[in-house]
Amino acid sequence: MPAIQNIRNTSPARSPCDLDGLRVLIVEDSWHVSTGLRRLLEAWGATVDGPVATTADAMRLVSESAPDAAIVDINLRDGELSYELIDWLQDRGIRIVVLTGYSDVSLQEGKVAVILQKPARDEVLIASLREAE
């Protein structure tokens, strides 16, 4: 199981083209978190799909246009868990960054690129996505 990184939110010096050309799917049921992620990623140059709050909506978006990476929360709307979605995304070769409030997440080694605990520092999240380029 990948180690969870417990990190706090700080804003680094911005370089607006760091994620230029990277398409990122956001799967998060919290409006505040998903809106903040969208703004952050767009400020760094990424193209953002979503945010979506359910597995079905995420699969629909990926079927229309596959992202390079996905930021996925474990606990989604109405108690839905995203483990099946994570498997589905991995089968499609999409880099997965789990962003969760849980300190103990059970995922097989290699399923996801990294597990970040909320709140995540901007520069760590950006670096996790940059590796998908």
Could you tell me the pTM of the whole model? 0.83
Q: What is the DSSP letter of 14?
A: P
Is residue 47 classed as helix, strand or coil in its secondary structure?
A: strand
Residue type, 98: V
For 4-8+16-130, give the CATH class.
Answer: alpha beta
What would the pLDDT profile of 67-89 be if each residue is shown by its tens digit? 999 999 999 999 999 999 999 99
- Stretch 28-36: mean pLDDT: 93
Using CB atoms within 10 A of its CB, is residue 21 exposed (0-12), middle (13-18) or buried (19+)? exposed
- Kindly give the interhelix angle for 31-43 and 122-130, rounded to the nearest 10 degrees: 60
Beta-carbon contacts of residue 109 (< 8 Å; ≥ 6 apart)? 1, 2
Domain layout of the chain by residue ranges: 4-8+16-130
- Stretch 6-25: mean pLDDT: 62
What would the pLDDT profile of 88-108 be if each residue is shown by its tens digit? 999 999 999 999 887 777 777
Start-to-end Cα distance in the chain? 24
